[in-house]
Structure 1
């Protein structure tokens, strides 16, 4: 006999399951975060590893080559950003003096025109602007200490990547153990489709970030903005946050340009550069590279960033967009969960515009089929 439970009991169980899931993710953060990063890198390296294996390179050697390429790329990127970031933090002291001059000018203007008494600008700077230097130094030293303390984790991730790539066929056979033989072909097709879509989305997202970073850096260098590399890469990474990311990414270099040069026009031009790059990214770069295979709507992306930050901190914010993209692919592949995939998807990707030629051809086919059915009915009646 089947036991039927009331709906409120089912919903209570679902809520308890979500609470236990969040508790599990937070409790085992030190184990799950390296595994998630390793899985993400493993998915990205599968095509390269398979290509090296086709060239008759042994799988262990091919995997080691892939890992060395990733380490070299990330090491160069971190070195480039750290040098720019150190110089930017050291310059915050001189920037605070310039900001103090602007505040005094604004206070004099308000006193002459509106009779508003000036406040202590230096005290304001000491509490707010001046604290940026101390905060930046604290973040930098904290990052260095965290890096030295997390060397064990950084050594574990390449090991995880190696074994995930080496035993990827074994993991696939492991999943076959849960289903019957007649359904394994369907599972193979589903797994291959999911893997291809996830690989194309994540690799396409990285390509988009690189292209946007190059465009941002080029525009800022033409304007002569210092630390163009840092500002350009920082803004390109934030493009994964729809609409909001470009505002955050453009605000920092625009304010820096305004304080450094004192020209409002230059600051507006900097914002215009980022807006133009964002226009290119949204209308030409992303559609042509990642396509419409996986398209996350802005609300789901922002919500994923907030939840990821609350659960796993900065690592959760980095992993949130790829994880939600993978979930959407899984939801779309599994029919009972397809509505959730539709909910996560973008409106433009969910509602495809009908093609005029396709609609016309469908109508012609329908008319032709109706005529054919009528002729067959006439033959039968005779």
Structure 2
């Protein structure tokens, strides 16, 4: 009777004490942030392309189910996505050109309002015109520097954005190879691993649902913005409403900028302060509807990220990649949470990023109210 071959020993995981594990984690995070900052021009277009590819994947699958050749299906999908994005950018460009034609009138009205405000401060607080002008010049120089940096970042983003359609096409073309690569890497070299494949499939489905929900929420916010501005008679309501919805994709910070633009337009284009206060009131109501009804039911039902992590993520994204980093921050955090929630050893990190307690409280309150009825 031949003896059985010895069973291979399972590799044992090294256990480090907490005072060693924490510095290693912090060092890894620091190296990751430094890598993202140094290679932002290479990594960020790939991240944008990956998110767009996941969003457009149902379109490609629909074309394949209707017997469209694979290369043609991929090409049509990429063209559809590019045309949709270019349509939005063209609309913003045309409306901005019309707005630029009115800049001399806005500049004169703003100068008049500044002079009136300066006189009021001089009478009310005793501030001299020389001090006020020094404050105004300092603020103007800072604003000009900030605007120049923003325009530089946006122009650089537009140049790099030309690579995104190419990346999307290649990601579609090599999607099976990429999935096999990820499966083998995270399954210890095994050819097939149902656990890893299931995590990838569930993550892709959740990301698709989350991004589609984000687009639906942005469309509803754009309609509410436009309707509210038209009701107040604010010029260029369509442009300001759409820009407000786009900026609203940046959590918390984008909402403040979205309010500032139409308030400035109302202050310059309308007499008095009533219209500007009306814009603030309308946008506060829209933000209340968005935060308490649209996001919990459309976006947060797909993936829940708590407010602290969202704000810190946006600030970190801005420090790493500027405007592009701010737009990518929340989708990347949501993707990380999706992956963390589906891997046993990483679930504590998913709980740190998530906001399930608030959702559970809302669900408990709804249940209690329905029981009382």
Which band: TM-score by shorter chain?
0.7 to 0.9
Q: What stretches of structure 2 of length at least 5 have no aligned partner?
A: 1-11
Q: Name which of 53, 78, 84 aligns with 1:73.
A: 84
1:262 alignment partner, SS class: coil
Counting only pairs closer than 5 Å after superposition, residues 101-140 of structure 1 correspond to structure 2 as 101-112=112-123, 116-119=127-130, 128=139
- 1:116-167 deviations in Å (ceiling 9; x for gaps): 5444767766665599689768865x4786478x2xx444322221121122
Q: Name which of 285, 289, 311 aligns with 2:298.
A: 289
Q: Name which of 342, 345, 349 aligns with 2:359.
A: 349
Higher deviation after alignment, 153-162 or 48-57: 153-162
Does the alignment pair 1:21 with 2:32? yes
Q: Name which of 3, 25, 32 aligns with 2:43.
A: 32
Distance 1:109 1:320, change over 3 A: closer
Contact kept, 8 Å, 2:153 with 2:323, in 1: the verdict is: no
In 1, Cα distance between equivalents of 2:125 and 2:221: 45
- 1:164-217 deviations in Å (ceiling 9; x for gaps): 112222322333434377972333322221111111001110121122112212
Q: Name which of 267, 286, 307 aligns with 1:258.
A: 267
Q: Name which of 151, 175, 194 aligns with 2:182.
A: 175
1:253 deviates by 1.0
1:40 deviates by 0.8
In 1, Cα distance between equivalents of 2:154 and 2:300: 38
Corresponding position of 2:6: none
2:305 alignment partner, SS class: coil
Corresponding position of 2:167: 160
Corresponding position of 1:41: 52
In 2, Cα distance between equivalents of 1:156 and 1:164: 12
Contact kept, 8 Å, 1:93 with 1:130, in 2: the verdict is: no
In 1, Cα distance between equivalents of 2:271 and 2:291: 31
Does the alignment pair 1:231 with 2:231? no
Does the alignment pair 1:339 with 2:348? yes
Corresponding position of 2:200: 191
1:46 alignment partner, SS class: helix
Q: What stretches of structure 1 of length at least 5 have no aligned partner?
A: 360-382
Contact kept, 8 Å, 1:309 with 1:315, in 2: the verdict is: yes
Corresponding position of 1:55: 66
In 2, Cα distance between equivalents of 1:143 and 1:32: 15
Contact kept, 8 Å, 2:37 with 2:320, in 1: the verdict is: yes
Contact kept, 8 Å, 1:45 with 1:66, in 2: the verdict is: yes
Contact kept, 8 Å, 1:96 with 1:125, in 2: the verdict is: no
In 2, Cα distance between equivalents of 1:88 and 1:64: 36
Contact kept, 8 Å, 2:54 with 2:208, in 1: the verdict is: yes
Distance 1:117 1:44, change over 3 A: same
Does the alignment pair 1:310 with 2:310? no
Distance 1:90 1:197, change over 3 A: same
1:36 alignment partner, SS class: helix
1:20 deviates by 1.9
Corresponding position of 2:94: 83
1:187 alignment partner, SS class: helix
Distance 1:251 1:59, change over 3 A: same
In 2, Cα distance between equivalents of 1:18 and 1:46: 31
2:248 alignment partner, SS class: helix
In 2, Cα distance between equivalents of 1:3 and 1:55: 51
Count of residues in correspondence between the two structures: 355
Contact kept, 8 Å, 1:296 with 1:325, in 2: the verdict is: yes
Higher deviation after alignment, 349-358 or 246-255: 349-358
1:56 deviates by 1.3
RMSD: 3.3
TM-score (norm 1): 0.80
